[in-house]
């Protein structure tokens, strides 16, 4: 029998997720200032086809229509992020017009009985703060604290579910080491400093949250991947354990236990890297849940020539348009693992796939996405049945949008966006979800 909503606990919520820079557009309107992603995407060679978020889905002007779509599908919740450079000028001067957009967005969601989940930081640092050192600036966590406090004060009366950071692993390692995301640095020592400052920013935000929003819940969203050795040999097996600690623990352990994972830290120090470890008491402020972004697994091979001692190997499972293997069981494994290690409530804050979507006669027949979602829903349900305190599931993403370094070439939405006309079309997966939610 096909899976249906009523198989899940009664208070389980289903939603979709988005991020400000990926959908809003209106980059020069109402006092918004540039973020690191505006500058990065306008720099030749950084984003596929030199695309950018200048217009994106024009959600800034079309949010009412977008909420109507969520309503029509029957979604319970919506996870979105705030653009820091829309609400604060020069890192500290309040921009009322920017705040007003989020006030209107929240009110419209509540009017439609859709519960807002807000992410404070989804990768779009104000460029002004980047010029002051960005995530390498020792004071950046305090700037973030002030920004967070302003948002809590403005929206905390109506919004009760909060996420400090989205995938700080990507902000630090893709942004400061691999150089594939803004700000595009390639310095491994910087990446560890950025990572630590991101964690401090998280902790400071949680601390002020408790003073301002007494009846709310707050957590952090990390990307997790099932890490598996490429081959059945001791070297791959050992390095996979380290990579697992590094990918799935570096931003979890400090938040809960106040320290970095031991083995991975030991290896990194042996490699000569400096790992900052101050302020762990701030970093480990109690949180209410972990957000889990799950897409795929990683096959790991020992590689002494790589600065981190490993490389990725291509797997044999069917892949999405991103080249990511489809591996639903990994979702179950990771939920179980997070539950056992940290014991906190969990939300899947992102899961979904990019597909070869084509609009033909106003229809997108994305049967592969239905299959993907159905299989991942089943694994989530199995996790709940096996004792995991999983409370909700957000599909990435509501509508096709600006997929960072991939520009508009990858379509992840359950709603198709025709970027020329900005017309939205519910894909078959959205109609399937609507049916699923009604049962």
Q: Please tell me the distance from the alpha carbon of residue 210 to that of residue 276, in angstroms, as a whole number.
A: 26
Residue among 8, 396, 408, 416 that touches ligand FCB (CB under 6 A): 396
* CB nearer to ligand FCB: pick between 17 and 149: 17
**Interaction mask 262-301, ligand FCB, x per CB under 6 A:** -------------------------------x--------
Verify binding: residue 78, ligand FCB, rule CB under 6 A: no
Residue 350 is a binding residue for ligand FCB (CB under 6 A): yes
Residues 162-191, interacting with ligand FCB (CB under 6 A): 166-167, 170
Q: How far, in Å, are 187, 192, 223, 314 from residue 317 at the CA level?
A: 33, 32, 20, 9
- Beta carbon nearer to ligand FCB, 14 or 173: 173
Residue whose CB is less far from ligand FCB, 8 or 60: 60
Cα–Cα distance between 342 and 151 in angstroms, integer?
28
Tell me, by CB under 6 A, how many residues bind ligand FCB. 12
Which residue of the set 33, 167, 245, 325 is catalytic? Answer: 167
CA dihedral 239, 269, 293, 353 (to 10 degrees): -60
Q: Which positions ≥6 away from 7 have C-beta within 8 Å?
A: 381
Identify residues 407-426 at the interface with ligand FCB (CB under 6 A): 412
Are the C-beta atoms of 426 and 363 separated by less than 8 Å? no
Least distance CB 275 / ligand FCB (angstroms): 24
Q: Which of 27, 82, 31 is nearest to 53 (CA)?
A: 27
Q: Closest residue to ligand FCB, Cβ-based?
A: 19
Residues 332, 324: Cα–Cα separation, whole Å: 17
Which residue, 26, 160, 23, is CA-closest to 98?
A: 26
CB of 17 to ligand FCB, least distance (A): 8
Buried-state track 236-272, b at ≥16 Cβ within 10 A, e below 16: beebbebbbbbbbbbbbbbbbebebbeebbebbeeee
Choose the catalytic residue: 24, 33, 325, 350. 350
Residue 167 appears among annotated catalytic residues: yes
List of residues contacting ligand FCB (CB under 6 A): 19, 22, 166-167, 170, 223, 293, 350, 396, 403-404, 412
Which residues are part of the catalytic machinery? 167, 350
């Amino acid at each position: 029998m096909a899976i249906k909503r009523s198989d899940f606990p009664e208070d389980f919520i289903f939603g979709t997720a988005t991020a400000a820079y990926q959908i809003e557009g209106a980059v020069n309107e109402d006092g918004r200032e540039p973020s690191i992603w505006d500058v990065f995407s306008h720099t030749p060679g950084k984003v596929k086809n030199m695309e950018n978020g200048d217009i994106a889905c024009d959600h800034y002007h079309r949010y009412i229509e977008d909420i109507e779509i969520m309503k029509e599908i029957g979604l319970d919740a919506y996870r979105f992020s705030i653009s820091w450079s829309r609400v604060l000028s020069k890192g500290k001067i309040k921009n009322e017009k920017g705040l007003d957009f989020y006030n209107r967005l929240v009110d419209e969601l509540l009017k439609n009985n859709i519960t807002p989940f807000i992410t404070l930081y989804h990768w779009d640092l104000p460029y002004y703060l980047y010029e002051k050192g960005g995530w390498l600036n020792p004071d950046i966590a305090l700037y973030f604290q002030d920004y967070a406090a302003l948002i809590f004060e403005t929206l905390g009366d109506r919004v009760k579910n909060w996420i400090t950071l989205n995938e700080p692993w990507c902000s630090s390692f893709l942004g400061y080491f691999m150089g594939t995301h803004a700000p595009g640095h390639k310095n491994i020592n910087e990446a560890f400093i950025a990572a630590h400052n991101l964690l401090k920013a998280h902790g400071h935000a949680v601390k002020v949250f408790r003073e301002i929003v007494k009846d709310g819940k707050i957590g952090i969203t990390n990307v997790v991947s099932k890490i598996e050795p490429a081959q059945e040999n001791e070297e791959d097996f050992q390095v996979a354990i380290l990579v697992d600690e590094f990918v799935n623990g570096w931003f979890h352990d400090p938040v809960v236990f106040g320290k970095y994972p031991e083995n991975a830290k030991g290896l990194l120090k042996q490699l000569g890297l400096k790992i900052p470890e101050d302020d762990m008491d701030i970093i480990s402020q109690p949180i209410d849940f972990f957000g889990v972004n799950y897409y795929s697994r990683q096959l790991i091979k020992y590689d002494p020539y790589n600065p981190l001692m490993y490389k990725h190997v291509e797997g044999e499972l069917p892949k999405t348009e991103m080249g990511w293997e489809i591996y639903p069981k990994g979702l179950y494994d990771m939920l179980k693992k997070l539950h056992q290690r940290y014991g906190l409530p969990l939300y899947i804050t992102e899961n979904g796939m990019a597909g070869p979507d084509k609009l033909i006669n106003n229809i997108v027949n994305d049967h592969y996405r239905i299959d993907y979602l159905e299989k991942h829903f089943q694994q989530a349900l199995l996790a709940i049945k096996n004792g995991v305190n999983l409370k909700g599931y957000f599909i990435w993403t509501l509508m096709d949008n600006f997929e960072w370094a991939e520009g508009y070439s990858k379509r992840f939405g359950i709603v198709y966006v025709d970027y020329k006309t900005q017309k939205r079309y519910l894909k078959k997966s959205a109609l399937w979800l609507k049916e699923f939610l009604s049962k």
